[in-house]
Amino acid sequence: MVVAVLFLLLGSLRAGLLVASAIPLSMLFATAAMSLWGVPGNLMSLGAIDFGLLVDGAVVMVEGAMAALAVAGRAPGADARAVIREAGGRLSRPVFFSVLIIVLVYVPVLALSGTDGKLFRPMALTVVLALAVALLLSLTFVPAATALFLRARDVPSREPWVMRLVEHVYPPTLRRFSARPVLVAGLALLGLAVGAVLLHRTGTEFAPQLNEGDLVVQTTRQADISLAQSVVEAQHFERVLRGAAPEVTQVVSRIGSPAVATDIMGLEQADVFVSLVPRAQWRPGLTLERLIAELKAALQREAPGGEPSFTQPIQMRFNELLGGSVTDVVVSVYGEDLGELAATAAQVREVLARQSGAEDVRVLAPPSVPLLTVRPRALDAANLGLDAADVLETVRVARQGHEVGATWHGAVRIPVVLKQAGIESAWSFKDTPVPLPGGGAVPLSRVAEVSGEDAPGQVNRRNGARRLMVGFNVRGADLGTVVETARAAVDATLKLPAGVRLEWGGQFESLRAAKARLAVVIPAVLALIVLVLLAAFRRVSAVVIIFSHVPFAAVGGLIALALRQMPVSLSAAIGFIALAGIAVLNGVVLLSRIVELEAEGHSPAAAAIAAAHARVRPVLMTALVAALGFVPMMLAQGPGAEVQRPLATVVVGGLFSSTLLTLIVLPTLYRVFRRAPPARS
């Protein structure tokens, strides 16, 4: 595809192959470096590389050489190698700085840590390695190979039909707009306003949800449920799910903890794994949200209770790593009084259950368990010659039994325990006989208070504080919007008791942490890019003009996300970072030519128009090749494609607006930033 695009725009198959040769060489050296540094090759590290980025420097070099050969070909006795060497020397500076800036824009991704760093750092490191090699090849191998293999006869005498079409449309369009700078400025500001509105309305999420193809339903029963009853209820649960939808092929339950207790659960908890047919075989128009709604309705109708929560296998483990819970978002309630914690958690659950997009809302704690409490009455026991230890020993023997012997099964010793029968409740336990020192016995109620009460099934702590969690999943909306709306509703509704505080976690916490890190690193990198541009052009106005590409590129990316109904995720943020580098590259390529023409004595307006005509082909080539490189990721439907699609969508959409800015807005408004020099006498 890359070679075909280059051939259409350059008109020379040999030139297209020279440019494309940078791709395998860059990937070869980058893969070798990945192997040495232990960077894994996976969907993100290798699948997110755009081959168009790797040939941007080579495109500028080869196109410049062809343009120089086309001019020199009309001069008798011209030395093709000298012409290519002169063109390469002139273009080496803008190529070096433009590709270097693309490398720099990936530095914020390298600064990510935690789960977001695990996801995107390998990709950024691979891209940086490949771009560094591509830059080295653009400055060494590509000019040498061009001088060796490209001759004046390889330059077509007539422009390719694509460029003839561009030459037919672009110059008149540029002349019309350049005569109306106020209109161009107004349209540019209107585009920025549209982008600002879209940014305000577009939701956010940490990472796109993967379509894993299967579901997990988590259930929680009474904490004192027996194993036999758990199995019975799980089997009934499975039968209901199997008959709830034709898309369900198999249902398997896992109760309690596995043999290797990597996932500790009680008998009251079960993970029900639901296998589904491939998405292509689903009923027409059926979505995952609708399928979950059908399954949940069937469970509520035929197997009520259990607080079922729907998620996916990998997503469940991912959430556990992020926030210690299997749900997408966790609201942790901290305090010391268990009654206040339970009451506050119930209120939070009630508020969250009313929020749109918040599904499977539940308190993430096992239900209360019945507790038998025995409090010895020391004075009554002493009157009978007993102490508290005697009373409690009687309770222990009554509950656990008394070992009276043993038997053996092979090498395994099996104790024989004598236990008291008929103890089913606090009422019957009161009659347990307590032996007296002088003989005889008295009922336990004579020397102790016996009562039954409900107690928490589990008490969690974090950082020394008691913690009760309320969790929910997000479906049918973006995570950022749901959490912000829910937080506002909870803050407006609840008045927390003294000593009780709330903390929002899960994927939202990771999203917030990633934003905080990028908010520090991105300005630092932008400052570094400013220094690089100042070193390249030694003009503040040039830096301002080139940086104007970034928001315009972002506008196109936001429009593309809105059209595809995608929220701004961390993957999309990486796309905006990559887009900024490509946009700056095109700006550097065009502005470097403008500066050259000004140095030759042209006015800023004339230099801008002439440079736009001269650089329209490399600008179109870099943008088109980069965009086409991301199109397969943008349209991908395979496993894991959900992570790549937002990134590719942002880049492809943003390149349209960025290219429009480079070819129309920048030449038109350049004279606003640069005053014309005084006329020479």
Indicate whether 489 belongs to any domain: no
The Cβ-side half-sphere exposure at 639, using a 13 Å CA radius, reads 7
Which of 41-50, 287-296, 341-350 shows the lowest mean pLDDT across its residues?
41-50
Half-sphere exposure of 263 toward its Cβ, with a 13 Å CA cutoff? 14
Q: From the CB of residue 414, how many other CB atoms can be counted at a distance below 10 Å? A: 10
Where b means 16+ CB within 10 Å and e means fewer, 459-472 reads eeeeeebbbbbbbb
Please give the Cα distance from 561 to 195 (Å, whole number).
11
Write out pLDDT tens, residues 447-497: 888 887 777 767 778 877 888 888 888 887 888 888 888 999 999 988 888
Judge whether 227 lies within some domain.
Answer: yes
What pLDDT sits at residue 670? 79
More confident of the two residues 429 and 77: 429
Beta pairing partners, 370: 454
Kindly report the average pLDDT of the chain as a whole number. 81
Same domain, 195 and 224: no
Q: Which helix (H) or strand (E) holds 256?
A: none
DSSP run (H or E) holding 661: none
- The answer to whether residues 550 and 676 belong to one domain is yes
Residue ending a domain, choose from 429, 455, 481: 455
Return d(Cα 573, Cα 467) in angstroms, integer: 33
CA dihedral over 558, 562, 568, 571, signed as positive or negative: negative
| pLDDT above 70: residue 621 | yes
For residue 679, the model assigns a pLDDT of 41
Q: Could you tell me the pLDDT band of residue 78, with boundaries at 50, 70 and 90?
A: low
Question: What is the rounded average pLDDT of the residues 402-406?
Answer: 84
Give the residue-averaged pLDDT of 404-408. Answer: 88
Same domain for 236 and 188: no
152 and 55 within one domain:
yes
Is the model's pLDDT at 256 over the cut of 70? Answer: yes
Contact between 44 and 208 (Cβ < 8 Å) = no
CATH number at residue 37: 1.20.1640.10
Is the pLDDT at 678 greater than 50? The verdict is no
Q: How far is CA 588 from the centre of its chain?
A: 31
Tell me which of 422, 455, 488 is where a domain ends.
455
Specify the residue for token string 């500028």.
60
Secondary structure class of 33 (helix, strand, coil): helix
Structural element, H or E, at residue 604: helix 604-635
Read off the pLDDT of each residue in 373-378 and give the average, rounded to a whole number.
Answer: 88
480 inside domain: no
Backbone angle region of 273, left / alpha / beta, with phi > 0 → left and psi within -120 to 50 → alpha: beta
76: pLDDT strictly greater than 60: no
Final residue of a domain: which of 294, 311, 328?
A: 311
Same domain, 668 and 582: yes
Report pLDDT for 68: 81
Are residues 131 and 187 located together in one domain of the fold? no
Ranges 121-125, 188-192, 636-640, most confident = 188-192
Q: Is residue 120 domain-shared with residue 237, that is, in the same domain?
A: no
- The C-alpha atoms of residue 527 and residue 120 are separated, in whole angstroms, by 23
Neighbours of 331 (CB within 10 A): 30
Whether the pLDDT of residue 676 is over 50: the answer is no
Q: Which residues contact 466 (CB under 8 A, 6 or more apart)?
A: 334, 335, 336, 338, 341, 459, 460
Please give the residue that has the higher pLDDT: either 671 or 408: 408
Terminal CA-to-CA distance of the chain, rounded, Å?
A: 53
573, 644: one domain: yes
- 599 has pLDDT over 70: yes
CA dihedral of residues 662, 667, 672, 675 (deg, nearest 10) = 130
Whichever domain contains 423, its CATH number is: 3.30.2090.10
pLDDT band, residue 614 (cuts 50/70/90): confident
Taking each continuous run of H as one helix and of E as one strand, the counts in the chain are 26, 15
Domain extent for 167? 161-201+539-681
Average pLDDT of the residues in 556-580? 84
Q: Please state which of the ranges 269-283, 416-430, 570-584 shows the lowest mean pLDDT.
A: 416-430
Q: What token pair was written down for 478?
A: 């973006």
Q: Which amino acid is at 5?
A: V
Total domain count, the chain = 4
- Asked whether residue 468 is assigned to any structural domain, the reply reads no
Q: Is 97 helix (H, G, I), strand (E, B) or coil?
A: helix
* Domain assignment present for 282: yes
- What average pLDDT does this structure show over 644-672? 83
CA distances from residue 361 to 4, 307, 506 in whole angstroms, order as listed: 53, 9, 14
The DSSP line for 175-217 is HHHHT-HHHHHHHHHHHHHHHHHHHHHS-B-SSPPP--SEEEE
DSSP conformation letters of 417-440: EE--S---SHHHHTT-EEE-TTS-
> What pLDDT is recorded for position 348?
92
Same domain for 177 and 276? no
Q: Are residues 195 and 270 in the same domain?
A: no
Same domain, 90 and 137: yes
- pLDDT score at 351: 92
The residue type at 377? R
Q: Can you say whether the dihedral through the CA atoms of 232, 236, 241, 246 is positive or negative?
A: positive
Would you say 640 and 45 are in contact if contact means Cβ atoms under 8 Å apart? no
Q: Does residue 423 surpass a pLDDT of 70?
A: no
pLDDT of residue 22: 84
Tokens of 75: 């001069």
Is 431 found in the same domain as 572? no
Residue 397 lies in a domain: yes
The share of the chain scoring above pLDDT 70, in percent, equals: 91
Residue 525 lies in a domain: no
- Residue 60 CB neighbour total at 10 angstroms: 29
Lowest mean pLDDT among 108-122, 211-225, 330-344, 655-669: 108-122
C-alpha to C-alpha distance for 631 and 248, rounded to whole angstroms: 33
Residue at 519 is within a domain: no
Q: Which of 200-204, 324-328, 353-357 comes out lowest in average pLDDT?
A: 324-328
- Tally of CA atoms within 13 A in the half-sphere of 231 that contains its CB: 3
**If you search the block for the tokens 């197997």, which residue do you land on?**
303
Q: How far apart are CA 634 and CA 637, in angstroms?
A: 9
Helix (H) or strand (E) holding 353: none
Tokens of 565: 């109904």
- What is the DSSP secondary structure assignment for residue 224, as one 8-state letter? T
